[in-house]
Structure 1
Amino acid sequence: MIERTSKVYRILRRARNQIIIRAKKLSRVDKTTYVHASAIVAKDLVTEEYAFVGRSCEIAPLTFIGRYTMLATGTAIVGGDHLSTRVGVPIQFTGRPEQLATKIGRDVWIGRNSIILRGVTIGEGAVIAAGAVVTHDVKPYVVVAGIPARFIKTRFSDSSDNTDHSKIINGPIISPIFAAPLIRYTIK
């Protein structure tokens, strides 16, 4: 088995990423971005360095994902693509409103099976809890959860940490350090 921390692993991972990015025709996705093969991604997706799009994600058109941002399994960026207020016309025949861009800042963590409605802006450093439904903009460095997503707490206990962290994630690219595999425990 190849160690996840080895140079060979990094080379193979990058090669795999490039094959998937080319197959999905994602010309505006950074070469360091990871897009899982099962993700359904609009061809106009734009990502910065080391973005991560996990298994079974769905990403609508006009989406931007910042550097170091992670979308966990089942994250969906959807909605805002049907009109529903025309009396006497079934929704599927009402046409489409103006499409809104979705912007996800740098170093955002979006938890498993979260739904982000199109047109939302998520500030840098934010954390979206698993299963949350984000219907409004999210401020930088906050944690939100629930349906609809609501403020839970700030990410860092000291607001000066926001400034220090922002300098790091907006500075020179950080070389990746991939997590070691989980230790398997046997219960007796």
Structure 2
Amino acid sequence: MALLDAQAIHPITLPDGTVYRDTVYLKNVIDHPRMEIGNFSYYTHSGRREDTALILAPYLGHACRERLVIGKFVQIARGSYFITSSANHPMAGFTTYPFRIFKPETFGYKDLPIKDTIVDHDVWIGQNAAIMPGVHIGSGAIVAAASVVTRDVPPYAVVGGNPASIIRMRYSSDVIDELLGLAWWDWPLDRIEANLPALSSGDMTALRRA
């Protein structure tokens, strides 16, 4: 029996058989035209399942121009969220007050710059992290708890703080390039599960044989 079920709503079952309902596979609970989400990416929150998109990205309306793109096997802890581009206020003038949004005929700021927010694969976002508009987080990165990510994060970097900065790289540049080339997250699920010892131990020699 496979460890993972891509169709599950709540992917975690506790040892006593209780389904842990605070964790959801995002792809299976979100139907949003401006969100693209890969398999097995999960989010933990205490809200209603149908409110998951609103909790995850509170300012990303269905009519917004930007996208939130989340890859496969992304792990998003409780309290973390995305501030997307449409949340911005006008900053070119002497005031940032969003006067236009208070009348239907002037609602919106289509002249403000818009940029997609992208999280690649196998990223771990710690508790209460805030991801700012237009950020691109590379595969294998780790975002420390309570961080505010204001700029792009390289693959396999560990970042933390406000604003988040690189604490260290998880591997050498040669190993990172090799991992990105292997792209294990694109393997069939049975191949991934067959090679969990190599993936979980950081055994690069074994992973090369996979």
Q: Is 1:146 aligned to residue 144 of structure 2?
A: no
* Percent of aligned pairs sharing the same letter: 28
Alignment of 1:101-112 (within 5 A): 101-112=116-127
| Residues 44-53 or 143-152, more deviating | 44-53
Change (3 A) 1:145 1:14: same
Residues 41, 58 of structure 1: 8 Å contact kept: no
1:134-188 per-residue CA deviation (whole Å, 9 max, x = no partner) reads: 11111111100000000100112x43332343314254133587xxxxxxxxxxx
1:11-62 per-residue CA deviation (whole Å, 9 max, x = no partner) reads: 6x83536xxxxxxxxxxxxxxx80399x998542101121112216422541
Residues 73, 122 of structure 2: 8 Å contact kept: yes
Task: Give the AA of the match of 2:173.
Answer: S
Q: Distance in 1 between matches of 2:4 and 2:169?
A: 33
Q: Distance in 1 between matches of 2:115 and 2:80?
A: 18
Change (3 A) 1:46 1:36: closer
1:81-111 per-residue CA deviation (whole Å, 9 max, x = no partner) reads: 2213422x56121553133200111111111
Change (3 A) 1:123 1:55: same
Q: Distance in 1 between matches of 2:4 and 2:138?
A: 29
Shift of 1:10: 5.8
Residues 36, 53 of structure 1: 8 Å contact kept: no
Q: Distance in 2 between matches of 1:73 and 1:34?
A: 13
3-state DSSP class of the match of 2:9? helix
Change (3 A) 1:86 1:79: farther
Residues 50, 69 of structure 1: 8 Å contact kept: yes
Change (3 A) 1:153 1:53: same
Q: Distance in 1 between matches of 2:38 and 2:152?
A: 20
1:49 counterpart residue number? 39
Q: Distance in 2 between matches of 1:114 and 1:126?
A: 13
Q: Is 1:98 aligned to residue 98 of structure 2?
A: no
- How many residues end up aligned between the 2 structures? 152
Q: Is 1:35 aligned to residue 36 of structure 2?
A: no
Q: Distance in 1 between matches of 2:26 and 2:82?
A: 15
Q: Is 1:161 aligned to residue 175 of structure 2?
A: yes
Q: Is 1:113 aligned to residue 128 of structure 2?
A: yes
Task: Give the AA of the match of 1:51.
Answer: S
